[in-house]
Amino acid sequence: MKTIGYAAKAVNTPLAPHEFDQRELRANDVAMEVLYCGVCHSDLHMARDDWGWSSFPLIPGHEIIGRVTAVGADVTKYKVGDNVAVGCMVDSCQHCDQCHKGEEQFCREGMTLTYSGPDRITGEMTMGGYSKHLVAREEFVLRVPDGLDLSKAAPLLCAGITTFSPLRTWGVKEGSRVAVIGLGGLGHMAVKLAVGMGAQVTVLSRTADKEADARALGAERLLVSSDAVAMAEAANSFDLIIDTVPVKHDLMPYLPLLDIDGTLVLVGQLGPVETIDTLPLLLGRRRVTGSPIGGIRETQELLDFAAEKNILPEVEMIRIQDINHAFERLERADVRYRFVIDMASLEPAGA
């Protein structure tokens, strides 16, 4: 089937309409019309080929809310008309130990990314959610719980799960002391989800501009990371720090903020950080680690948790025609706190 999306035709070119062939429905496939798609900072990294694995033409988008339009013969979980969601991956080997554990993001043969990943059968590159239609195998399609506002839910599929997973992995519960570095798409979800788990949350931001927002999101306070006095006073006061900064940066100002046995989880920068002095690690048995997205089972848990606690992303709705401007604003952290594309703004091919 012919469909249409917004693609970067080459590295660093503006996104523009692009027609492409959607693959034929396989027996275990679900086809959907994309209703909403979130705009993740990773989409920007990929359009610029920051990580060296982008394939062009590239249609980004991995925070997808859709409505089922057709299902393959063997599909049992979904039917036409269901509200569904797709996140950062659309396939994996399904037989390794990690897939069996429901941690498909660690698939031993490599997960198939929702966009710019080779299809496991045809080798064709996958195309993401900045498009009118999407096809994914049933196991990677999530159910949107009743009551979750479809127009706001999309960012849960990446910003949400990428922060929910480390909060769960490192056992955040009532009374946990959590700090979040960078109040953007991932950061604001980290705050809401940690608060939803009963944690006491602090935001670490570059300026005081987002202080009122941080409190409105449920944080107890915002510390300006360049304020040496405030940072010194916060020494030894966190069990977990979620670091969402999207570029190379210095971890040294943050490590002393961890209490003994505390953990700093990198979820933002993929690549080098400034040199680390091991002193705060050894003397406080502190850890620095990282975490990629989350498994399908955990993503469904997140969607159910968000519906139960009424935790929704803060979104600014845009039209697909405004995506290049949105990228520019995302680059300078001028979004509170996630752009979501209303895909009804994209006319179908031939319309």
Bridging pattern class, strands 133-137 and 29-39: antiparallel
Per-residue binding string, ligand NAP, 186-215, x by CB under 6 A, is: xx-----------------xx---x-----
- Please, what is the minimum distance in Å from the beta carbon of residue 142 to ligand NAP? 16
Residues 60-119 that bind ligand NAP (CB under 6 A): none
- Please, what is the minimum distance in Å from the beta carbon of residue 43 to ligand NAP? 8
Q: Give 70 or 224: the residue with its C-beta nearer to ligand NAP.
A: 224
Instruction: Give the C-alpha separation, 328 to 325, whole Å.
Output: 5
- Please, what is the minimum distance in Å from the beta carbon of residue 186 to Zn ion? 8
Q: Which does 296 bind (CB under 5 to 8 A by kind): Zn ion, ligand NAP, none?
A: none
Residues 151-170 that bind Zn ion (CB under 5 A): 158
Q: Give 57 or 184: the residue with its C-beta nearer to ligand NAP.
A: 184
Residues 139-168 that bind ligand NAP (CB under 6 A): 158-159, 162
CA 132 vs CA 74, 137, 186, 246: distances in Å: 24, 17, 25, 29
Q: Which does 268 bind (CB under 5 to 8 A by kind): ligand NAP, Zn ion, none?
A: ligand NAP
- Please, what is the minimum distance in Å from the beta carbon of residue 3 to ligand NAP? 25
The answer to the question of residue 42 lying near Zn ion (CB under 5 A) is yes
| 232-235 contacts, C-beta under 8 A, 24 or more apart | 234/179, 234/202
The answer to the question of residue 184 lying near ligand NAP (CB under 6 A) is yes
- Please, what is the minimum distance in Å from the beta carbon of residue 292 to ligand NAP? 4
Residue in the structure block whose two tokens are 């946990």 = 176
Residue with the CB atom nearest ligand NAP in the bound state: 184
The answer to the question of residue 40 lying near Zn ion (CB under 5 A) is yes
Instruction: Give the C-alpha separation, 248 to 2, whole Å.
Output: 40
The answer to the question of residue 302 lying near ligand NAP (CB under 6 A) is no
Residue 323, amino acid: I
Of positions 333, 340, 341, 346, contacts ligand NAP by CB under 6 A: 333
Of positions 142, 219, 245, 343, contacts ligand NAP by CB under 6 A: 245
Of positions 22, 92, 176, 244, contacts ligand NAP by CB under 6 A: 244
Instruction: Give the C-alpha separation, 269 to 272, whole Å.
Output: 8
Q: Give 35 or 40: the residue with its C-beta nearer to Zn ion.
A: 40
Size of the site for ligand NAP (CB under 6 A): 29
Residues near 254 by Cβ (< 8 Å), separated by ≥ 6? Answer: 179, 181, 204, 225, 241, 243, 264
Instruction: Give the C-alpha separation, 346 to 320, whole Å.
Output: 6
Burial class (CB in 10 A: 0-12, 13-18, 19+), 168: middle
DSSP character at residue 106? G
Contact of 23 with 126, CB cutoff 8 Å:
no
DSSP character at residue 345? G
Residue 151, amino acid: S
Binding site for ligand NAP (CB under 6 A): 40-42, 45, 158-159, 162, 182-187, 205-206, 210, 244-247, 249, 267-269, 291-293, 330, 333
